[in-house]
Amino acid sequence: MKIKVIVTLKKGVLDPQGKAIQQTLNGMTFSDVKQVRQGKYFDIDVNMEDEKKAKARVEEMCKKLLANLVIEDYKIL
Amino acid sequence: MKIKVIVTLKKGVLDPQGKAIQQTLNGMTFSDVKQVRQGKYFDIDVNMEDEKKAKARVEEMCKKLLANLVIEDYKIL
């Protein structure tokens, strides 16, 4: 089954990529954008039927590879 | 208000980054991972109170800047 994960920078960690997007949007017709934060999205197809087990497995992957827990948070959807 | 957006590659578009993650996971203890697709996540803070209007505004941003509609799809959460 497919499990979706979002990895985002923790609050307080600088996000120059998001800042660049925000400034570009402001310079276009979107002056009402106050802030943009960018993150990563993963769609992981695990060979498991049980949703709970699959999510536990994906959580393990997040801790070991997908997210850098020093500066990032993950959220399993 | 904050609007969340996910931008993913369309079906059929090759995703070498996702493939590399999948192979790395397989080489660790996660041999049950069949496929990984990577996408982008944006958290956009728009200076608007009305959720419907804010989402319409973000949709415009997706079309004009955030997503390349030739190869990518966007989804506003």
Domain count, chain B: 1
pLDDT at A9: 96
Under the banding of pLDDT at 50, 70 and 90, the label for residue B7 is very high
Positions in chain A short of pLDDT 50: none
What strands, in cross-sheet order, belong to the sheet with B2-9? A72-76, A2-9, A33-46, B33-46, B2-9, B72-76
The conformation of residue B62, written as its DSSP 8-state character, comes to: I
Q: How far apart are CA A60 and CA A54, in angstroms?
A: 10
Integer Cα distance of B61 and B55 in angstroms: 10
CATH code: domain of residue A6: 3.30.1280.10
pLDDT per position as a tens digit, B15-26: 999 999 999 999
Q: Nearest C-alpha of chain A: how many angstroms from B71? A: 16
ipTM value, please give it. 0.90
Tell me which residue range forms the domain holding B29. 2-76
Contact at CB, B33 and A44, closer than 8 angstroms = yes
Spatial separation of the C-alpha atoms in residues B9 and A54, rounded to whole Å: 23
pLDDT-derived band at B35 (thresholds 50, 70, 90) equals very high
Task: Give me the residues of B, 1-60, that contact A with CB < 8 A.
Answer: 6-8, 18, 21, 24-25, 28, 30, 32-48, 57, 60
- Identify which of B32, B47, B48 has the shortest CB distance to residue A46: B32
Per-residue pLDDT at A23: 96
| pLDDT score recorded for residue A73 | 96
What does the pLDDT average to over B63-68?
A: 95
Count of Cβ atoms closer than 10 Å to residue B39 Cβ: 23
What is the overall mean pLDDT for chain B?
95
This prediction's pTM: 0.91
For residue B14 the two structure tokens come to 């090759």
Structure confidence at residue B39 (pLDDT): 96
